[in-house]
Amino acid sequence: MAELKDLTKRSESYSQWYNDLVIKADLAEQSPVRGCMVIKPYGYAIWEKIQRTLDEMFKETGHVNAYFPMLIPKSYLSREAEHVEGFAKECAVVTHYRLKNAEDGSGVVVDPAARLEEEMIIRPTSETIIWSTYKNWIQSYRDLPIMVNQWANVMRWEMRTRLFLRTAEFLWQEGHTAHATREEAEKEAQTMLHVYNDFANNYMALPVVMGVKSANERFAGALDTYTIEGMMQDGKALQCGTSHFLGQNFAKAFNVQFVDKNNNLEYVWATSWGVSTRLMGALIMTHSDDNGLVLPPALAPIQVVIVPIYKNEEQLSKIKETIDPMIAELKKMGVTVKFDDADNKRPGFKFAEYELKGVPVRLVLGARDIENGTIEVMRRDTLEKETRSIEGITGYVKELLDEIQANLHRKALAMREENTRSVDTYEEFKTEIEKGGFILAHWDGTPETEEQIKNETKATIRCIPIGWDETPGTCMVTGKPSARRVLFARAY
């Protein structure tokens, strides 16, 4: 229980609670390299589940994986003018390719003779290197579409970092597709938005808002950026994934043309889309509580833990007789089970540990249970305990996992709805934004007004929500006409 005591309460400091939890639940830690994290085995096991699931969804929607170099020649960044403005500045620059022994024997130094003719940067994103490659892959409409995804590490030299949410190096996937027509590319960008939305809702139990970014918040080089925005428990927004319609910008920058069916030479249309280890942050912050992590069963590395209570080997072996077929049955149902009969930790310690690690269902079985034919079931989301008959327990556990998955989504959705408000005046907006949450307000559509609101309230337009109220009105700041309400929030 010692570990739990040190977990800051959310009400004391949400931010400290998050940091504590990431460390204490063994998800990740700071590395000796500034801003770079170590993803620990338990955290990585969750990331693997995210990867596997998304990878299947990408393949079902017609994509294949490939791999492109991690280094990008410096000059590539200048090719697409908007892109370089948005991205190129804060990145790791490779200037040399050799070390040598220091003359004073103190270790190794950079060999000045091994200076690169052109410096390289570690990819902050791969549009430029990939489009320089696509140039050779695409001649005719028959070479299109190209539907490629890459799982990779990327690096952005962030000054203020937080584990998972913002790190210098992070893991992600980046899809880069090439199309013959504008319509097809736009459709692809939207398809991937929906894939992300499905994943967030159905696996992460995170009811994100789908929308379009305003010009200010668009990806550097995109014509349209689609986003899924989640609301964390502190009412702040977290951008969870983006899908970009890039138009012909990168095709023009890298001169990628194709001969269409009518024998005309045209520039190729592009999309890119990505989610990263930031999703781990979203997952943690959406569901977890003061006792530790709460994981949706669909992404939990261990879905059910079974803890036996026993005084001697005889009792343990009796418990095992009951438990073994139960474990076999659960595994057959596709449930991941851990049986923890380690004898160097007391049951209370184990309970706290699995609570901290967010295992969705805990089963406890003692000698008396065996006599009575009962078992104790605890669900992590509500911490409710009940004693049930062992008869039919596996079916019950399976249903309970589904119910926990659904409940987490319900709870998060209710939280989001409670904390989403419409306001009509800028005064009201300034008051309401202090309370956190999402605010729907009218805006005149100009970058200047958006910038003013950001400077004065720290709130940004998270998105223009898709499928939400589209009634026109007047801008809360300027009184000019507004096409519809947009979603404001303070964000991570």
Nearest distance in Å: CB 58, a copy of itself: 12
Phi, psi of 331 (to 5 degrees): -60, -40
- Pair of tokens at residue 477: 């700041």
Dist. CA 423–CA 430, nearest whole Å: 10
Treating both helix axes as pointing N-terminal to C-terminal, what angle do 278-287 and 41-60 enclose, rounded to 10 degrees? 110
- Which CB atom, from 91 or from 397, has the smaller least distance to a copy of itself? 91
- Which CB atom, from 318 or from 338, has the smaller least distance to a copy of itself? 338
To which H or E segment does residue 325 belong? Answer: helix 313-332
Residue 296 contacts by C-beta under 8 Å, 6 or more apart in sequence? Answer: 203, 204, 205, 283, 287, 360, 404, 405, 408, 409
Nearest distance in Å: CB 24, a copy of itself: 14
Single-letter residue type at 47: W
CB 90 within 8 A of CB 35: no
Nearest distance in Å: CB 263, a copy of itself: 16
- Got the DSSP string for 264-305? -EEEPEEEEEEEETHHHHHHHHHH-BTTB----GGG-S-SEE
481: left (phi over 0), alpha (psi -120 to 50) or beta: beta
**Which of 144, 120, 123, 118 is CA-nearest to residue 68?**
123
- Pair of tokens at residue 488: 């404001």
Phi, psi of 101 (to 5 degrees): -65, 135
| Cα-based angle 86, 91, 92 (whole degrees, multiple of 5) | 165
Dist. CA 213–CA 243, nearest whole Å: 10
Binding residues (CB under 8 A) for a copy of itself: these are 29, 31-33, 36-41, 44-45, 47-48, 64-78, 84, 88-100, 106-108, 110, 119-122, 129, 132-133, 136, 142, 148, 152-153, 155, 157, 169, 171, 344
- Which CB atom, from 108 or from 406, has the smaller least distance to a copy of itself? 108
Nearest distance in Å: CB 52, a copy of itself: 10
- Which CB atom, from 261 or from 368, has the smaller least distance to a copy of itself? 261
Dist. CA 365–CA 371, nearest whole Å: 11
Nearest distance in Å: CB 172, a copy of itself: 12
- Which CB atom, from 147 or from 441, has the smaller least distance to a copy of itself? 147
Beta-strand relationship, 337-339 and 304-309:
parallel
Nearest distance in Å: CB 387, a copy of itself: 33
Dist. CA 161–CA 150, nearest whole Å: 24
- Which CB atom, from 48 or from 402, has the smaller least distance to a copy of itself? 48
- Which CB atom, from 49 or from 411, has the smaller least distance to a copy of itself? 49
Nearest distance in Å: CB 259, a copy of itself: 15
Nearest distance in Å: CB 488, a copy of itself: 31
Nearest distance in Å: CB 348, a copy of itself: 18
- Which CB atom, from 68 or from 468, has the smaller least distance to a copy of itself? 68
Nearest distance in Å: CB 62, a copy of itself: 12
Phi, psi of 16 (to 5 degrees): -70, -40
- Which CB atom, from 44 or from 488, has the smaller least distance to a copy of itself? 44
- Which CB atom, from 108 or from 383, has the smaller least distance to a copy of itself? 108
Fill in the DSSP letter of residue 208: P
- Which CB atom, from 129 or from 205, has the smaller least distance to a copy of itself? 129
Nearest distance in Å: CB 211, a copy of itself: 31
B/e letters for 459-483, b = 16+ CB within 10 Å, e = fewer, are bbbbbbbbebeeeebebbbbeeebe
Dist. CA 287–CA 294, nearest whole Å: 5
- Which CB atom, from 97 or from 139, has the smaller least distance to a copy of itself? 97
Fill in the DSSP letter of residue 491: B
Dist. CA 346–CA 311, nearest whole Å: 11
Nearest distance in Å: CB 363, a copy of itself: 23
